[in-house]
Amino acid sequence: MADKRSNFNKRIEAIHLGAQAMRNLCIESQFDSQTGMFLTDDNSRGAAILSAIANEPMFESVSQETAVGIVSGMQSAVREYEKTYGHLPSDELMASAHATMRNMMTLEGAKRDGSTGAMMLESINQSLSTSEGVEIRAKMVGLVLPVLLETATLDAVTMIPAGANEVEIFKVYRRTGSNFGDFAAGTEIDQATVGQYSSMRQRYKFVAEQQPDGTKTTHVFDSKTDLQHTKFEIPFTKTSVSLFINHKRVARDLDSNGSQIMTGTHNGMVINCQIDHAKGKVTVTPTSALSAGTILHIEFEVDIERRPDLIPTIDHDMDSRTLRPRQNAIAADATIQAMFTMQREFGQDLKSLQMSHMRNTLASEKATRHLVDMDFACTREETFNIYVAAGEDWRLHRERLNEVLLNVSTKILQATRTTGMTGIFAGTGASTILKSLGAPYFVAPANYQQKNAIHYAGKLFGMWKVFECPVVIGTNDMLCYGRGSSHSEAGYVAGDAIAATMYTHPIGKGLVASNTLYELAYGEIHPFDGENYFYRVKLIDEAPVAAAA
């Protein structure tokens, strides 16, 4: 447990430090450190970038010009992200990008002096250790954050600052550390937990044997025997004791200045109460028997001045799972004759064309793989009928649709106990229907253009992001997802141990030029009930079946 807690704290610290380093590079460097104003002057912005770069060791191996280019690109990507979504990237995304960049910029093969950090493919290190290789690597590093911010599926993903070999992901459980109030020691508590624990003011129903039955004239509440989770005397604070009959307060010791006697009336009947504050005991004696079905409650404040040991405690349990990254690789080759022919006849650089296609293929498959996994893990679903009778406007259904999605959000919240619905991955047909609602029910981003790829389409009902998915998701499906504020509150875990890195093979006697694009990445459903963060709504268009006569 101690090791897990230490590792968890290290993870939190890594996220904080990595996110802060990235903010220094690509956010704070856009503002004047004295006035906080946005820098519009190129010279001032350039000076701010140079100042930020000087504090970042991973740029030591590249030229100043290259480093400035990397940071400028990241600044632009962050501005576009904020313009589209209305908020800055999350801390864990920024920290993950920083860890990936650091891994790429400091990759080393095994050295004779015994230093660690050997790459999985030693030959990649050799090809990237030359001055030219370092510059190639730096250009790839410059794409890390922009590519992450452009990956639509990451809104449903928790990003982890990834290690090269494995990473540990944690779940923290809060549990009661004491038998107190409504809880036994070891009970898990979260936002949905309801009960008396931290409050010293407590209210309890008299046990069944002490409730009125039409004949009893004495009713006793004893804190030592009548409470479910404690079997010892609980002292009462003076002036805090009240008696309730049928949920209405009828007597309190505040009216008698905290004395051992309190008196009240109920339906013209005098109710006398004898209080033993030290032992936590109250004896109720009405002048005549209370009718059967009458309900008695007692309220008091625990005297923690007398018994400070009764102050309840919170314990933390921690569980963890180890994740390992998986390899993604794609290669392309061409003869040098073909390369010269393409350049001479068509003015095309075949090598650049191959690199572009490999990079796009790897990135596209990565985004769709996230969505495929989410769709595969989602088992809860329901349907919503959009059928419209002749002459009716289908938009009359929008309030019902809003109600259905609000209910879905509640179901996600109940399952995860951390967050409700935050967004939707919608198939093309479903996305078209949502767009047709128009403003203010559906608001598309400025200069929106439909793409044949997963992309942000707008905000629905002012609450939920909608991403159009031409692939993976059924055309009339809506895959709803939740994403909490904590770095672990998501249904999917992703991160790059080594971002896509190009490896150029030597040209042999066959005169074939080969290139391999290789990455080491994490990507899987969150090991702690990640499927609970997803819920599918299928849109159907079916005429209702007429009821039998």
Cα 27–455–482 angle (5° rounding)? 80
CB neighbours of 388 closer than 8 A, spacing ≥ 6?
394, 396, 397
Query: From CA 479, how far away is CA 464, in angstroms rounded?
Result: 12
The dihedral region occupied by 38, where left means phi > 0, alpha psi between -120 and 50, and beta the remainder, is beta
pLDDT value at residue 150: 75
Contact criterion met (CB below 8 Å) for 245 and 266: yes
pLDDT value at residue 123: 42
pLDDT value at residue 349: 65
pLDDT value at residue 159: 81
Cis upstream peptide for 527 (omega within 30°): no
**C-alpha neighbours within 13 Å on the C-beta side of residue 398:** 16
Q: Is the dihedral of CA 350, 352, 356, 362 positive or negative?
A: positive
CB neighbours of 173 closer than 8 A, spacing ≥ 6?
188, 316, 317, 318, 319
DSSP-based three-state secondary structure for 38 = strand
**Tens-digit pLDDT string for the chain (549 aa):** 566 667 767 777 777 888 888 888 888 888 877 777 887 777 787 888 888 888 887 777 777 888 888 888 888 888 888 887 777 888 888 888 888 788 777 654 334 343 334 443 444 444 444 444 455 566 677 777 877 777 778 888 888 776 657 787 878 888 999 999 999 999 988 877 889 999 999 999 999 999 999 999 999 999 999 999 999 999 999 999 999 999 999 999 999 988 999 999 999 899 999 999 999 999 999 999 999 999 999 999 999 999 999 999 999 887 888 888 888 888 877 777 677 676 767 766 666 666 666 766 777 788 788 999 999 999 999 999 988 887 777 767 888 899 999 999 999 999 998 899 999 999 999 999 999 988 899 999 888 889 888 889 999 999 999 999 998 889 999 999 999 887 778 999 988 777 777 767 777 777 777 878 788 888 899 999 899 999 999 999 888 776 555
Query: From CA 195, how far away is CA 203, in angstroms rounded?
Result: 10
Write out the DSSP string of 45-86.
Answer: HHHHHHHHHHT-GGGTTS-HHHHHHHHHHHHHHHHHHHHHHS
CA–CA distance from 265 to each of 49, 275, 548 (Å)? 77, 17, 60
The tokens describing 346, both together, are 């068509």
Query: From CA 319, how far away is CA 114, in angstroms rounded?
Result: 34
What single-letter amino acid sits at 120?
M
- 3-state DSSP percent of the chain in helix, strand and coil, to 5: 35, 30, 35
Closest CA to 492 of 532, 451, 519, 447: 532
pLDDT value at residue 42: 74
Closest CA to 472 of 364, 391, 341: 364
Strand 201-205 to 326-335 pairing: unpaired
Contact criterion met (CB below 8 Å) for 248 and 256: no
On whether the pTM is more than 0.85, the answer is no
Query: From CA 431, how far away is CA 527, in angstroms rounded?
Result: 30
Closest CA to 496 of 15, 155, 167: 167
Could you count the other beta carbons within 10 Å of the beta carbon of residue 195? 12
pLDDT value at residue 332: 78
CA–CA distance from 185 to each of 188, 223, 308, 310, 441 (Å)? 9, 18, 17, 13, 47
